[in-house]
């Protein structure tokens, strides 16, 4: 059901580390991320704002880049352990005729831009500037004082195919979602928790959401309450609720440019290779737990495009149980 | 806007105290209330089950009575302070040609059955048998280990009229909901917090919900999680969310007979008479806070009938912003 | 064991409402109460600062009054329900040759100063100016964002005698602490929860502590963490821990003038008159729960004097199990 | 200040995984760990009980082994990633004339017993039997429903020396504690959070404590409350409090044989190699945060011996600021 994993991968990606988003109004986006999620501004100027969670020592996990229209995702960043992992990565992508290019990226060590086989633009580096963690500076906390970036979810036209690519890079599945023989969702990790990269079937590649952890159940509500009080009440798109896969509490917000960000409480630990991934069988894409209404149609179908990347639809269109469809079916019963 | 309050009422109702519901399957309902809400069984036999919250010292706050079809509410119970308040109450109702009748009620002191002007059946008593509070017997806790019954909400065809009746009995409004000059919701209390009796416009009298407190935000999720794990996932009807009026976190569940029970975290203190009730202006009945999807149509329109009580529709039918309507309007934009 | 309670008292005290403390450095005390406890400043000038909890609608529950040396308590404030309760109170105290005097108190309605038989200076009023509650203005919260003043504890040379005085005013015991036939602690309330006034045996009258509620367990830690980060780490005197009587989580802090303030999570509901007070038998004054080290000696013996009030020692000196004594006894075993 | 770390270690230890303790009364110890900490029994017979946390998929993280006197620690278990890491480990220890021996261990794959240079007995394996995680089986939770084993703390006569040994195996310091030029505490990890192995100066090798995570602040209190209610109130030895290093909330309990177990909420993420360990300078061994009383003398000096391992005292005896000394010094001021 799942593609084979290369447990001794050609280079060592250690974790998802930072995401680059374009935004139409930098001040507005900064307000959302600092006052609702409670991220800390590490550094900023008129065109870019670098943010991190209160537990993070690295310079940035979220980079907001001013752009005319906003609403696109520029890069998903991953860390590799050593500098020479970057060279191995460069060779690996080049050998497969995939884009690979050295770039300068402020506040990061040597940085490599690559793309996976469906065009998802990635950014690899092995070091960043560091700053003191703020996790016990309680008096500086704002909003949900999110702790750290945890993972990304991308939509891909063929989940199995993309899962196989990342499996060859050492990503393992903690859990996965199937319908019959079809892999609909792959919840993949490198860092020893449930997730670094979730791949879900849909027109793609697109960035469906990125996720920050909060420390306690209560902070799921905190994120909502600050959103509501600060004028972002409509941004609460789905939840609060609990996921089946992973089992964590969540809420999804849409930022001022429509980028979707998840706030959730913490995952279990993975690490050991003998543990089998947990399989969830579902007629559709849902990650609903055992209670709660289905997600809105837009939660399934809207996502941030990557700059200048061509998207492709899945061969079999998805027909998830959206809230809209659920209510129609209820009514006709 | 609000009817005058009699601050020196003819008899002293102190709080909402117990509710009598009919249920079709006593074992099933007992399972729901003990294992999801975490109520404690004080006493039971084959036809009735007496339950209380973990903080409660009185014999029962919820009485489940086996009945062929279940799904009706028999009585809303209120406590009066002294035994002679019962006599004053008897006279008060008789003088107004309202039903008033002495009855025997197990585990309660002298008990009086009365009905308000729209026929809501009430039960007044001044004492009950007592039991030790279980609030620090943590090792006995189950489910959301709900603390205590807090309030009822009834639907009434004319909120102002019924609010006036209870105002004459000393009930004050903590908050209220209006549309223009029309009172749509009256959030009334006797016990020094926000609520003992909420009155909301709708076909009635019907019991819309009754509510138990939980101690912390997390237990809002606990109620949902136990519901989901124990086969009652579909019973989670609305929420988790936050109310505007009152400002508390909530979730609404439907019990096996369709009775609606709210679980919420605690209210602020009222008591002082110079504090003005908080006014909320709304185009409809919603008690939504600043975030979260609207409630389902059934949350607005379904409620438990009282046994043998004739219902009446409001003169102006309510047309609340239901989730169903909201999604249709979103789609057509 | 307990003195009789007058359930139809001569005037209606409804709750503990505000405390007046002298402080040597108003700015420093303001900093402590706003940034550690998270109280809201309603109004202030160079010599007085009026504060309230985030759930409170009345103008002040804590009044800090600049005075050369600070460290004294000027008055314990109680609310009565009606203005004519004040007149009844005036007569009641005068008839018993106890001090009673009308005063002007800013931001309060008609105000009466009285003293109980051991000289505790009280302040009664029936109204205050009001302000909007801040309990859902999450974005303004600071520190432990304490909700509301809950109770005072006074030390008295004869607990039974003072308990009898307040019982005649309608105060009931929720719980009490005895050693053999001696009443060591009386936990008395008017407002329908566990406490408005705790009376504990000791040299007095002195104000042992006053207490604010917080909404959740976590905020017990929040108070400590903000104290620690803002330079008041040494002010954490006892706890976090759990009380036996009442059963709530607590921590005690000392403010910059040494006034002791408790932060605790919420109490159970009382109200009904048939419920028997809970008796705790103890060899000494401890209110320890079933775990945790004993309190420091100073927790038992230090307290704020009332301005110009003569103190008296109990006939039998108390010899509580202090932490100091406990460790000595452990060592010698 | 810190010894060099071998970032490409000879074999890959991934995490602390299980601890073997002797207990005098298996039923009593089982009661403590299942009902206070809330560990799950995976398997047991009359002489051994295998337990795991609710988030753990591996067969055991705590092994209780019946032994006449109890109170000793038999082994600290670590996982390696691959089976061939075990062979590399065997060679590594043998080459250094350190004990290394293949053993049979039920429910584990190939298992290697080794000892570090001061004699700490370790157990390495690369696989275990697995079981379903119980983390969303809320209805089965007991006590503090601890999530997973996180780390061990050992006392060692020379912290720097032992830290150097583990640094050569790829353990890095998240934080460390010094007095002048002397390393007093090394907080070392492999798994990408703060800790797998803490080394602190003291007579050793001895097992000072092992630690399980809980999900939220509230569960720190839950552990205490269940301990208190189930007859283990005196087992609460230190806390609840907050650590300086690591910054987490904690409480320390002593089990029926005197083994010390810590319950704490979660750590921050480490992983990246460019982040400098955080240095704490202290006159003594304390890991106190910014508030809270010092730990009892026994917290510093009592620890579980390893079976048949000779202990050695540090060259310079430690003189930490114990609670006992603190109170004496306070008194003499």
Residue B331 has a pLDDT of 81
Q: In chain C, how many domains are there? A: 1
Asked if residue A55 belongs to a domain, the reply is yes
Nearest-CA distance A109 → chain B (Å) = 41
Asked if residue C318 belongs to a domain, the reply is no
Give the domain extent around A269. 13-305
Asked if residue A198 belongs to a domain, the reply is yes
CB contact under 8 A, C242 and D224: yes
- Per-residue pLDDT reduced to its tens digit, A180-194: 899 999 999 999 999
First to last CA, chain C: 36
Evaluate whether C113 touches C104 at the Cβ level (below 8 Å).
no
CA distances in angstroms from C181 to A112, C175, C221, C313, listed in the order given? 80, 15, 37, 19
List subunits contacting chain B, requiring 3 or more Cβ pairs under 8 Å. Answer: A, C, D
Residue C266 has a pLDDT of 79
Question: Digits of tens for pLDDT over chain C (333 positions)?
Answer: 899 999 999 999 999 999 999 999 999 999 999 999 999 999 999 999 999 999 999 999 999 999 999 999 999 999 999 999 999 999 999 999 999 999 999 999 999 999 999 999 999 999 999 999 999 999 999 999 999 999 999 999 999 999 999 999 999 999 999 988 999 999 999 999 999 999 999 999 999 999 999 999 999 999 999 999 999 999 999 999 999 888 999 999 999 999 999 999 978 999 999 999 999 987 666 666 789 999 999 999 999 999 999 999 999 988 889 999 999 988 887
Residue B285 has a pLDDT of 63
Q: Give the per-residue SS3 of C225-250.
A: HHHHHCCCHHHEEEEEEEECCCCCEE
Residue A285 has a pLDDT of 63
Nearest-CA distance C222 → chain B (Å) = 15
- Name every chain D residue with its beta carbon within 8 A of the beta carbon of A216: 215-217
CA atoms within 13 A on the CB side of A213: 25
CB contact under 8 A, B236 and A292: yes
Residue A134, chain D, CB below 8 Å: the answer is: no
Out of B139, B229, B230, the one facing D226 most closely (by C-beta) is B139
**CA atoms of C213 and D209, how far apart (whole Å):** 35
**Which of B136, B138, B219 is the best residue to mutate to test the D interface, defined by the most D CB atoms within 10 Å of its own CB?**
B138
Nearest residue in C to B247, CA atom: C136
Residue with the bigger pLDDT between A290 and D315: it is D315
Asked if residue B94 belongs to a domain, the reply is yes
Burial class (CB in 10 A: 0-12, 13-18, 19+), A314: middle
- Per-residue pLDDT reduced to its tens digit, A102-160: 999 999 999 999 999 999 999 999 999 999 999 999 999 999 999 999 999 999 999 99
Evaluate whether D143 touches D241 at the Cβ level (below 8 Å).
no
**Which of B7, B83, B147, B274 is the best residue to mutate to test the C interface, defined by the most C CB atoms within 10 Å of its own CB?**
B274
Residue B289 has a pLDDT of 72
**ipTM of this predicted structure:** 0.96
Say whether pTM exceeds 0.95.
yes
Q: What residues does C242 pair with on adjacent strands?
A: C249
Asked if residue B317 belongs to a domain, the reply is no
Q: What is the average pLDDT across D159-174?
A: 98
Out of D139, D225, D229, the one facing B230 most closely (by C-beta) is D139
Asked if residue C54 belongs to a domain, the reply is yes
**CA atoms of D214 and B233, how far apart (whole Å):** 26
Nearest-CA distance D139 → chain B (Å) = 7
- Per-residue pLDDT reduced to its tens digit, A251-300: 999 999 999 999 999 789 999 999 999 999 876 666 667 899 999 999 99
Buried/exposed B264-281: b ≥16 CB within 10 Å, e otherwise: bbbbbbbbbeebebbebe
DSSP letter string, B32-80:
HIIIII-PEEEEE-SSEEEEE-TT--BS-SEEEEE-SS---EEEEEEEE
Residue with the bigger pLDDT between C289 and A209: it is A209
Residue C216, chain B, CB below 8 Å: the answer is: yes
- Per-residue pLDDT reduced to its tens digit, D238-262: 999 999 888 999 999 999 999 999 9
Residue B1 has a pLDDT of 87
Residue C89 has a pLDDT of 98
- Name every chain B residue with its beta carbon within 8 A of the beta carbon of C192: 14-15, 191-192
Out of B249, B291, B324, the one facing A227 most closely (by C-beta) is B291
- Per-residue pLDDT reduced to its tens digit, A147-172: 999 999 999 999 999 999 999 999 99
DSSP B293: P
**CA atoms of B296 and B318, how far apart (whole Å):** 14
Residue A288 has a pLDDT of 66
CA angle B143, C191, B146 (to 5 degrees): 5
Q: What's chain D's average pLDDT?
A: 95
- Name every chain A residue with its beta carbon within 8 A of the beta carbon of B216: 218
Residue D35, chain B, CB below 8 Å: the answer is: yes
- Name every chain B residue with its beta carbon within 8 A of the beta carbon of D38: none
- Name every chain D residue with its beta carbon within 8 A of the beta carbon of C225: 242, 290-291
Ranges of residues in chain B whose predicted pLDDT is under 50: none
Burial class (CB in 10 A: 0-12, 13-18, 19+), C150: buried
Nearest residue in B to A231, CA atom: B290
Residue D246 has a pLDDT of 87
- Per-residue pLDDT reduced to its tens digit, B95-104: 999 999 999 9
CATH number at residue B179: 3.10.180.10
Asked if residue C257 belongs to a domain, the reply is yes
Asked if residue B315 belongs to a domain, the reply is no
Nearest-CA distance D287 → chain C (Å) = 14
CB contact under 8 A, A191 and D271: yes
DSSP C10: S
Evaluate whether D212 touches D141 at the Cβ level (below 8 Å).
no
**Which of B290, B293, B302, B326 is the best residue to mutate to test the A interface, defined by the most A CB atoms within 10 Å of its own CB?**
B290
């Amino acid at each position: 059901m799942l593609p084979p994993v290369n447990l001794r991968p050609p280079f060592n990606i250690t974790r998802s580390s930072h995401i680059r988003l374009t935004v139409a109004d930098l001040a507005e986006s900064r307000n959302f991320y600092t006052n609702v999620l409670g991220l800390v501004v590490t550094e900023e100027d008129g065109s870019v704002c670098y943010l991190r969670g209160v537990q993070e020592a690295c310079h940035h996990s979220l980079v907001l880049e001013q752009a005319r229209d906003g609403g696109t995702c520029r890069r998903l960043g991953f860390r590799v352990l050593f500098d020479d992992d970057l060279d191995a990565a460069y060779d690996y992508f080049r050998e497969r005729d995939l884009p690979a290019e050295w770039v300068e990226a402020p506040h990061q060590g040597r940085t490599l831009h690559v793309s996976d086989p469906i065009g998802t633009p990635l950014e690899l580096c092995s070091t960043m500037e560091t700053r003191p963690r703020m996790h016990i500076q309680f008096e500086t906390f704002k909003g949900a004082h999110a702790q750290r970036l945890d993972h990304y979810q991308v939509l891909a036209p063929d989940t199995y195919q993309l899962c196989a690519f990342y499996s060859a890079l050492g990503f393992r599945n903690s859990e996965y979602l199937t319908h019959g023989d079809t892999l609909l969702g792959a919840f993949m990790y490198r860092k020893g928790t449930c997730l670094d990269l979730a791949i879900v079937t849909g027109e793609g590649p697109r960035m469906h959401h990125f996720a920050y952890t909060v420390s306690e159940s209560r902070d799921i509500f905190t994120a909502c309450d600050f959103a509501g009080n600060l004028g972002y009440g409509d941004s609460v798109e789905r939840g609060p609720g609990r996921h089946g896969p992973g089992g964590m509490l969540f809420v999804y917000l849409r930022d001022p440019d429509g980028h979707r960000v998840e706030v959730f409480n913490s995952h279990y630990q993975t690490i050991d290779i003998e543990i089998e991934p947990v399989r969830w069988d579902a007629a559709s894409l849902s990650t609903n737990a055992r209670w709660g209404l289905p997600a809105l149609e837009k939660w399934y179908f809207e996502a941030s495009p990557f700059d200048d990347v061509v998207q492709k639809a899945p061969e079999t269109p998805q027909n998830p149980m959206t809230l809209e469809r659920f209510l129609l079916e209820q009514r006709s019963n």
